[in-house]
Structure 1
Amino acid sequence: MRANMLPTEDFERDPSAFTDRVTSDGRYGRVAEPGRYRLVVSRACPWAHRVVMVRRIMGLEEAISLAVVDPLQEVIDGEPHWVFSEGNGDRDGKDPVLGIHALREAYLARDPHYTGGVSVPALVDVATGELVSNDYDMLSVDLATEWGDLAREGAPSLYPELLREEIDTVSAWIHRDLNHGVYRAGFAPDQEVYEDAVSNVFSRLDYLERRLAGHRYLVSDHITLADLRLWATLVRFDAVYHGHFKCNRRKLSEYPVLWAYARDLYQTPGFGDTTDLLHIREHYYYVHTGINPSRIVAVGPDPYGWEEPHYREALNGEPFRGDTPPDPVPENERVTDLEFQG
């Protein structure tokens, strides 16, 4: 996720610049091994959030360490950058493991001539300090499928082979109409592009309202990567996309089925306990000066709504279906209490 994108043309997301894969057998040159890699994320970013959720659900906290950048960013050489501050790094504003202040240092360690964008999530090789990958989709898939020997006992199958075609199909239209669609609306350069994007966003939400009325989860009777990819957008919808990105035909909380589905997942380990609504609001409203030049950060909505009963247990399905939920979040990775997120 990059920031401060100006509404000058129809929004297009930059392709991932570095796409090395880390696998159990090292068939692409890098082997999954404990302590070798560090995952750098922003808790504001939906693309990074899905990777954090996979890491947590699979129980990979000890295998892959986590670094969280400051949500407000810092202008370096005229461009906003993801950086570590005293609150997210050491007293010198550096990551205590990688020893860097700005994430771009890992990009430049990989390619000293790199001039492209710097985005999260970023998997960094601790031994060399070099960026390995900023491919959020493949990072999610590989953490779900290639780190099995290092995953916790009882970890679920988030990307089972028999369901991969359906998961990929569902994920494709979720990406087009929702994950990407809200950004098309928020950074639309003109009324026509904006209205087209908003129409697609709400047509897809209307469809999901019907689809999930009789099914607890998107693809199967347990959570899969499709649910994580959708939920990363849903949890941000009322907080930032509804107002900040002008996706204001309806709120998520005005969709009875979708709102219950979203609360169900929020209350499932790996979802709500990796979500920081304060980071989300601060980043979007403060950094996107092209659409919010005042940098006034919205105070709502009330975060305690996420803890209301959802009653989705009546539907067929269980989040981990025979497997077990992850252990409590490690002390050093706990997010801000809801009391301070509202």
Structure 2
Amino acid sequence: MEKKRRNQLDQERHKNKREKESDMEKKRRNQLDQERHKNKREKESDMEKKRRNQLDQERLKRKREKASDMEKKGRSLLERERLKRKREKESYMEKKRINQLDQERLKRKREKASDMEKKDRSLLERERLKRKREKESDMEKKRRNQLDQERLKRKREKESETEKKRKQIIDKSLHAETRHPKSIDKANKQFLKEIQKSPDYTCTVCHRMMYNENVIQFRPSSFRNSDLADFCRTHLKTVSDKEWLCTTCQRHLRKGSTPPQAQVNKMALPEQPSIVDELTDFEARLVAKRIPFMKITALPRGKQQGIIGSVVNVPSDVDETCKFCQELQYRLVSSLSN
């Protein structure tokens, strides 16, 4: 108790003494304390330094846990400002060295991460990149695309002939494996993937429904005769709210001629009356102007059906059919009345 009381008295006396000090005396005392602290640390052994660092880290950790949200926020802001001032004073070589160290540390951290952490990180990076690109203006998008193309061009220029040849061989093997899979599982997956596709792409010139492999995005500026392309287009938008052009119409437009199946070449189909939807199959056959005849047989492989031979369109006189139906109706009514 006496020791504790004596320590308290010493602390109070020391505190009163410091309050009475002038600014010069405080500055001189701080310098002496720093020098004494420095000399003390120089004399420490490696084990003592390690132990002191651990104690400092534990003390700092306890201090940060006790801090409030406002104190944490203020400390983070101060640390950012201090780091910013420190980086502004750095030379070019120091900045380069720090960037390399940061990249190595990040690389080691990513190597130690689990598969779930890697997956979550990749998803977060994609979302962040997506949000960033959504905020970009048209000029920024154009500039980013140009930079990407230049970087890819420089990368390809630096490749040696051996690397180019190796890439070509890999691409050919991948293409061959995709077109003609060797294993049954891959062939099944490829088949299921292919049958999910449907002809959803409609040509803006001829209105034919095509697959993705047979169309390109319509751009009038890509043709020499852009007036002809504008004349043939019908502004029909389908997938992704874009205009698409089939390869057949593209070939004719590049030659400077109107595609034979273009809608503007009087190839447009007339609109179907709404009353046709209400007709039965028998009624639709009766009023059809042409009756097609074709030979449908089972194909040798796949158990699918196909047309063999030519298709014959037999014209039908609809007026005569309607007249006969009226006469038949009159005969039936008269026979029932009798």
TM range (shorter): under 0.3
Length-normalised TM-score, structure 2: 0.18
- Radius of gyration: which is bigger? 2
Per residue, is there more helix in 1 or in 2? 2
